[in-house]
Structure 1
Amino acid sequence: MRYLIPDRFQAIVRHARRTNPFYARWIPEGGPVPVLTRRVLQDHNDEILNGLKATACTSGSTGMPVRVHMPRERVLDGLRDIAGFIRHMGRPLPRTDIMRARSAHPPPEFLAIFTPIPEQLEVLRRNFRERGATAIITYPSNAGLLAQEILATGSDFGFIRRVGMISETVDPGVVETVKRAFPNARIWSSYSCMEVGLISFQCPYEPEFHHVVTRKLALEILDESGKACGLGQPGRVVLTDYLNRKMPIIRYEIGDLAEFASCPCGRLPAPALRNIVGKIRGCLVHRDGRRVPFMALSVSLRNLPGMRQFQVIQEELERFTVKVVADGPIDDGVRAEFEREFGYLPRIGIERVDAIPREPSGKFYASICRIGTAERADVPA
């Protein structure tokens, strides 16, 4: 399936061919617009920036960072989208934002993501006492660590009324842990990427679904052959940004898997997504060559007794490194879950560590696949 506004799509295509040297070659005149892969964008990043200064850079945790230019008006437009989404949940609440700093002088509600978890919890208490902050916005991985600490120490955070999780794929196991730690909070999430900003927001009425921001984005879900997927069929997410005319992003395959769905809420007309699996490049690879989405294994590992944190790194087709923060013996359980998921037991090196650090971006990746792909594309000279 494809959701696009033809007039807007053709307008940004014409603009890109006229003003950007890369797109002038990449998009044939009058012909179909090719899918722009991450590798092609990276290889031609300077040309696509077209002399503009990069305003942000993706994490590059797999060695493939992308530099982007997001005009200020486009950033403000995205913030208005988020504000509109929050209004569906009721009035805005005083909050604490726990994430990576975007400026040298962050606002007072900001707390750096690298702050130790016990200190984060103390700041949440202080912000509630001093300014009535009852909402949190942070990354899912951090929300999970906050929740674990609260449950382990028996702390009372019933004063929190809203927890928003952004910028990372949301593990259902994390959601359940966060609900137990913040029993009076409404839990919400959004789906976004650095290249285009907000893509969709969680339905306030049917949390299993996310509604796409179609006024600013075209969104396609394609199968491996490039054909549009049907309703409920998972595939590759391909995006076009109608509004960024400085650095056009057209039919860009961001490296995520998701599926279109029909949201039963009946209140929001925007098309819906479900089962946003997350990065293809974070998927694991079976020895028969097929991709293995990490979500099922993630839930199994998270449920092992004593497991506090983990990171799975696929070094080679049949060799993995698993970093674990755990209480008590856990190696046999890890190997058993791998064998159950793959149908065979690959080589697994298990490293017991005290903590698993975040990326410099502040994000945490529970799975990293270091197996290279054969992704190639011929760009006209």
Structure 2
Amino acid sequence: MRRNWVEQMGQNPLLLPPQVQAGNGSAAISKLLTERSITERLPTRELARHQAAALSDLARHAATYSPHFIRRLASAGLTPQSLAEPGALTRLPPLTRRELVGAGDALFCTAYPSGHGEHSTTSTSGSTGEPVTVRRTSLSELQWLVYTLREHLWHDRDFSGRLAAVRANISQPADTPDWGPPCSLFFLTGSWSGRPASWSVQELCRWLGEYDPSSLLVLPSTLAGIVAELDRTGQRLPQLRWIRTLSETVTSHLREEVRRVLGVGIDDIYTSQECGVMATQCPEHGSYHVSETILLEVVDAAGQPCSVGEIGRILVTDLVNYLTPLVRYEIGDYAEVGGPCPCGRGLPTIRRFLGRERNLVLLPDGTRHWPVVGFHRWGDVHDIRQFQFIQLDRQTILAKMSAPSRPAPEQEARLTTIIQEELQHPFAIRYEWQEEPLPRGPGGKFEEFLCRAE
């Protein structure tokens, strides 16, 4: 059921300009993109004021039409009006994936503004073992297109070249004459070609060599395998100028390898099926700018906001989804808080995204931290093309290594010393060596560090 709340549309620059409906395609995108060129330059405090107003509007709506959200507010002793007051949001307990799944239909709103367009249902891949389903409106999808196009424009990309995509959601090879929305709605683009992430890196490299794209959209783990194979064979992609990644963590090691082998950088996008485009990298300074319609909190173990330079859990609030109230949604990732960006944009920043808890090393005393493994020091010891660490227990790590040959015992011992120094604990390191690239998991994903210890 949709209701005609026209007065709600266009009053806040984070929603939709007046007289524009979410289903109007290029007109709506153009209007919103113009708004974003203004909101991205707002002083941080003014942007926060608009976000607080948007949160208050969302809370009033959800408190009327979502039974689950009504109970959440009541149990926290909050009202829709008080939720947007300074410091009040932290009193609302996070919405976990398990709670989201368990809420069932009570989570969703029974009505939403007519200006938000049609609605659709989407499900995540369930990489945490808890697949979730959310309902989104056309306005939610529109924001995704706007932030995608803005990211292209920020990085001054040439749309006339060929775009290659390697995605987990591509099941069969596909080719189209243009890039598709949003780019093809405004620009004459080159062709698009997509391949499944489940293809072997050898197959992907052969295809990329034949297609020779100027832009590549790819999972970081797939990119790591491609770069390792290109480095091994000496093959290059002469037209490649831009690489965009999403869905997984981009490590500094991968950035260095891509720059060394292909001579280009990585522009990463922080997205999810639940919330769309949440943050994109600054073209000048590399930090991640959080999208205007996303409240992204980083909190410590006690649930308190992290300061600049601190690492904590991510809680996301989607300010435009009036069908599924994702307020303080614990998406499962960790991030390091950034400071003001010298580029002049007032958008909040994240210095880096660090993956999930399962990607953190677990020390014997129960503390966790991001696993720095010293890969930048390995080159002086042995030629290692790819690696994956699996922490088996609090004292043992299995190191799977892809290399042209197995190192001598003294080299292996030196690697162990480096890894122990970087991980800040004398773990027992068990090695498995192979010449072939390491296999990827379901959907073509790959994790460089995986903790199975408890």
TM-score class, shorter-chain normalisation, is: 0.7 to 0.9
Q: 1:124-168 CA deviation, whole Å, 9 max, x = no partner?
A: 23323xxxx311110112222222222222223232111112211
- The DSSP-based 3-state class of the residue aligned with 2:53 is helix
Residues of 1 paired with 2:366 and 2:393: CA distance?
A: 12
5 Å matches for 1:230-379? Answer: 230-294=307-371, 296-297=372-373, 299=375, 303=379, 305-330=382-407, 331-333=412-414, 335-353=416-434, 354-371=436-453
Q: Is the 8 A contact 1:58 1:67 kept in 2?
A: no
Instruction: State the superposition RMSD in angstroms.
Output: 3.0
Residues of 1 paired with 2:104 and 2:397: CA distance?
A: 32
Instruction: Kindly provide the amino acid, as one letter, of the partner of residue 144 in structure 2.
Output: G
Pairwise CA distance, 1:282: 1.5
Pairwise CA distance, 1:49: 5.5
Instruction: Kindly provide the amino acid, as one letter, of the partner of residue 200 in structure 2.
Output: P
Corresponding residue of 2:59: 13
Instruction: Kindly provide the amino acid, as one letter, of the partner of residue 445 in structure 2.
Output: K
Corresponding residue of 2:303: 226
Pairwise CA distance, 1:238: 1.2
Q: 1:362 to 1:72 in 2, by over 3 A?
A: farther
Corresponding residue of 2:216: 136
Pairwise CA distance, 1:177: 1.1
Pairwise CA distance, 1:72: 4.8
Q: 1:343 to 1:174 in 2, by over 3 A?
A: closer
Corresponding residue of 2:249: 169
Residues of 1 paired with 2:378 and 2:131: CA distance?
A: 29
Pairwise CA distance, 1:88: 1.6
Pairwise CA distance, 1:43: 4.2
Residues of 2 paired with 1:16 and 1:113: CA distance?
A: 38
Q: Is the 8 A contact 1:59 1:361 kept in 2?
A: no
Alignment of 1:23 with 2:90, yes or no, is no
Match of 2:124 among 24, 38, 57: 57
Say which structure, 1 or 2, has more relative contact order (CA 8 Å, 6+ apart): 1
Q: Is the 8 A contact 2:109 2:325 kept in 1?
A: no
Pairwise CA distance, 1:42: 4.2
Residues of 2 paired with 1:327 and 1:344: CA distance?
A: 28
Q: Give the greater-gyration-radius structure (CA).
A: 2
Q: 1:63 to 1:232 in 2, by over 3 A?
A: same
TM-score for both structures, normalised by structure 2: 0.71
Alignment of 1:201 with 2:280, yes or no, is yes
Q: 1:316-346 CA deviation, whole Å, 9 max, x = no partner?
A: 3333333332332355355334422344433
Pairwise CA distance, 1:292: 1.9
Pairwise CA distance, 1:83: 1.2
Moved more, 104-113 or 283-292: 104-113
Residues of 2 paired with 1:39 and 1:333: CA distance?
A: 43
Count, aligned residues: 363
Alignment of 1:33 with 2:114, yes or no, is no
Alignment of 1:213 with 2:213, yes or no, is no
Residues of 1 paired with 2:431 and 2:283: CA distance?
A: 40
Residues of 1 paired with 2:134 and 2:267: CA distance?
A: 27
Instruction: Kindly provide the amino acid, as one letter, of the partner of residue 368 in structure 2.
Output: R
Match of 2:141 among 59, 69, 75: 75
Q: 1:310 to 1:137 in 2, by over 3 A?
A: same
Alignment of 1:180 with 2:226, yes or no, is no
- The DSSP-based 3-state class of the residue aligned with 1:198 is strand
Percent of residue pairs identical: 25
Q: 1:330-379 CA deviation, whole Å, 9 max, x = no partner?
A: 5535533442234443344433454433332332122222345xxxxxxx
Instruction: Kindly provide the amino acid, as one letter, of the partner of residue 420 in structure 2.
Output: E
Residues of 2 paired with 1:103 and 1:142: CA distance?
A: 15
Residues of 1 paired with 2:174 and 2:276: CA distance?
A: 19
Residues of 2 paired with 1:44 and 1:300: CA distance?
A: 46
Kindly report structure 1 stretches of 4+ aligned residues shifted beyond 6 Å.
50-53
Residues of 2 paired with 1:232 and 1:344: CA distance?
A: 23
Q: 1:205-231 CA deviation, whole Å, 9 max, x = no partner?
A: 112x111102x1111122222222223
- The DSSP-based 3-state class of the residue aligned with 1:311 is strand
TM-score for both structures, normalised by structure 1: 0.84
